[in-house]
Amino acid sequence: MHGLVNRAIECFLRDTYGVQCWARIADAAGVDPDGFETMLLYDDSVTLSVIAAASRALGKPEEDLLEDLGIYLVSHPERARLRRLMRFGGVGFEDFLHSLDDLRERGRLAVPDLDLPDLELRDEGDGRFSVTCRSRHAGFGAVLAGVLQSMADEYGALIMIERGPPVDAVTRIDISLLDRSHAAGRRFELAGDARETGAQ
């Protein structure tokens, strides 16, 4: 698994549950509590054991934990950078949804060895959409559900999300767009200033 993914999990656990909790989880999973390097590659089993250890330590099902991770990735102040990159997907939430088809390629443009899931959006009409998430890892579907929820807030859209169970690492997520301008949404400057992009 790419270090960026492992590092994201690590930061999520640390920022959400505290340094000591992370240290316990790292210890249980047999990884260095100093954490992961974003630009190195790790064996997949490392990632899986961290998620399993976190789930045990926090008494929370893995899927729920991963959905929280998705929410965190877009909404936490420390992760402004990723949120900004996601915002390049489109002017409004619907544009953003349509940009999901390109997510994998966008990821590759930035980091050539980043293996993001393959997403396929279907516009079912009437403000209903479905996203099919295919990946080597079933967990990505839950993360995506959290990301979508957070991105809706980011654009000020009101949505309902239903996530199906992963079947052979394929997850289907149904989205109902109830109100595309429910709230103001966060301001987005295309060429963001240093303050906005500096946090990582």
Partner 1 sequence: MTTRGVTLDGAGLGALMPMHLGLDSAGRICSAGSTITKVCGEGELIGLPFLEVFAVQRPRGLHDAQTLAQQAVPRLRLSLLAPPGTGFKGLSVPIARGGGALVNLSFGIGVVEAVRRHGLTERDFAPTDLAIEMLYLTESKTAVQDELRNLNRRLEGARNAAEEQALSDPLTGLRNRRAMNRALARCCADGPRFALMQIDLDHFKRVNDSHGHAAGDAVLEAVARILLEETRRGDIVARIGGDEFVIIMPGIGEYAPLHRIAERLIMRLDTPIHVGEAECCVSASIGAILSSDYAAPEPDRILRDADMLLYDAKHAGRGRIVTLEQGSERRTG
C-alpha to C-alpha distance for 26 and 158, rounded to whole angstroms: 36
Compute how many residues bind partner 1; rule: CB under 8 A. Answer: 21
Task: Extract the tokens encoding 38.
Answer: 């974003």
- Rule CB under 8 A: is residue 88 a binding residue for partner 1? yes
C-alpha separations of 94 from 38, 71, 115, 170 in Å: 31, 18, 24, 23
- Rule CB under 8 A: is residue 156 a binding residue for partner 1? no
Write down the least CB distance from residue 111 to partner 1, Å: 6
Among 125, 168, 190, 195, binds partner 1 (CB under 8 A): 190
CA-closest candidate to residue 169, choices 142, 137, 121, 143: 137
CA-closest candidate to residue 186, choices 112, 83, 89: 83
- Rule CB under 8 A: is residue 113 a binding residue for partner 1? no
- Rule CB under 8 A: is residue 76 a binding residue for partner 1? no
CA 198 from centroid of its chain's CA atoms: 20
- Rule CB under 8 A: is residue 90 a binding residue for partner 1? yes
- Rule CB under 8 A: is residue 199 a binding residue for partner 1? no
- Rule CB under 8 A: is residue 192 a binding residue for partner 1? yes
CA-closest candidate to residue 131, choices 117, 111, 110: 117
Dihedral of CA atoms 11, 12, 15, 17 in degrees, nearest 10, equals -130
Among 58, 111, 158, 169, binds partner 1 (CB under 8 A): 111
Among 109, 160, 167, 178, binds partner 1 (CB under 8 A): 109
Q: Are 86 and 151 in contact (CB under 8 A)?
A: yes
Write down the least CB distance from residue 41 to partner 1, Å: 13
C-alpha to C-alpha distance for 85 and 125, rounded to whole angstroms: 27
Q: Are 118 and 134 in contact (CB under 8 A)?
A: yes
Q: Which stretch binds partner 1 (CB under 8 A): 141-149, 150-158, 171-179, 191-199?
A: 191-199
CB-wise, 184 or 190, nearer to partner 1? 190
CB-wise, 85 or 183, nearer to partner 1? 85
19-58 binders of partner 1 (CB under 8 A): 37-40
Binding site for partner 1 (CB under 8 A): 37-40, 81, 84-85, 88, 90-91, 106, 109-111, 189-193, 197, 200
